[in-house]
Amino acid sequence: MDILEFLNLNSGAVTAISTVVLTIVTFVYVLLTRSISKETEIMRKTQTEPNISAIIQADERYINWINLIIQNIGLGPAYNVKFEVNPDFEDRDRHPNPDARSINYKLSDIGFIKNGLPYFAPNQKFQFYLTNLADDYQEKLKKSFEIKVTYESNIHEPYSNTYLIDFSQQSGLTQLGEPPIYTIAKNIEQIQKDINQISTGFTKLKIIRYTKEDIDEENKQFLEQFKQQEAEIENTKQTENE
């Protein structure tokens, strides 16, 4: 019995088996297509999704100066951004920098936190001084509060994130030396002061004046020293030969 005769005699069974195989292949293809479609949708959503974060970070200039950083770390813009601080944080300390303003405010009274933001661009951030841990250190380590952020994506999908701000996370941190940028800034400031003192006559610029006669005299002395050294070397060679 050849293959053609076998297929003719069992055509019904062959057709059934082929149908089952085709159904399985079609089902697998549908699953793969659906999986690829979901991954594509997730990638598209990620590329347009906002993500607003809120953290505290020690200032580069002094480790006890604490800054609050609120930033959109997502790839998409956020709309209708609202903030809630619970419990409200109030700092009555004085800023450690004598040139800066005194600190006596509630966190919820800051403009963008109080009024919200209609638009928050990707990678946009607000960074500002929050408190000085050197003042009432132990008390501030016990203080913690939450910042709740609500906002929408460009397709009006709502988001809500709550961040715990805990100063005890900064406990035990130390700082070695000064940041290079801060050192450069101080050096530039000193150069500006020096230039200003010179330009105003407060500090006189010292100038050493050389005349042509002075230069000729220096050249003459140099030639004499050179000749003397040559003579000494020649005398040393003659002594060795003897």
pLDDT tens series, the chain, 242 aa: 566 565 556 666 667 677 777 788 787 877 777 877 777 666 666 667 999 999 999 888 788 888 999 999 999 999 999 999 999 888 765 555 555 555 567 888 899 999 999 999 999 999 998 888 877 778 887 788 999 999 999 888 999 999 999 888 777 666 666 666 667 777 787 787 777 766 666 666 566 666 777 777 887 887 888 778 777 777 776 666 66
> What is the structure's pLDDT at 222?
77
Distance, first Cα to last Cα, the chain: 123
Chain mean position to CA 157: 28
How many H helices and E strands in the chain?
6, 9
Strand partners, 146: 86, 164
Q: Which one, of 126, 96, 98, lies nearest residue 111 by Cα?
A: 126
pLDDT number for residue 21: 76
CA distance 57 to 70: 11
- Give the C-alpha separation, 110 to 91, whole Å: 12
Tokens found for residue 87 = 């419990």
What's phi and psi for 118, nearest 5 deg? -70, -25
How far are the Cα atoms of 80, 181, 192, 198 from residue 188, in angstroms, in the given order?
42, 11, 6, 15
Measure the CA–CA gap between 57 and 74, rounded to whole angstroms.
20
SS3 203: coil
Q: Write phi, then psi, for 201 (nearest 5 degrees).
A: 85, 5
Give alpha helix (H) positions in the chain.
3-9, 11-47, 111-115, 137-142, 180-200, 212-241
pLDDT at 80: 95
Contact 187, 113 (CB under 8 A): no
Closest CA to 117 of 148, 81, 153, 156: 81
Q: What are phi and psi of 196, to 5 degrees?
A: -65, -40
Neighbours of 195 (CB within 10 A): 11
What is the DSSP pairing of strand 78-86 with strand 144-152?
antiparallel
pLDDT of residue 148: 96
| Beta-sheet strand order (sheet of 144-152) | 117-120, 78-86, 144-152, 158-166
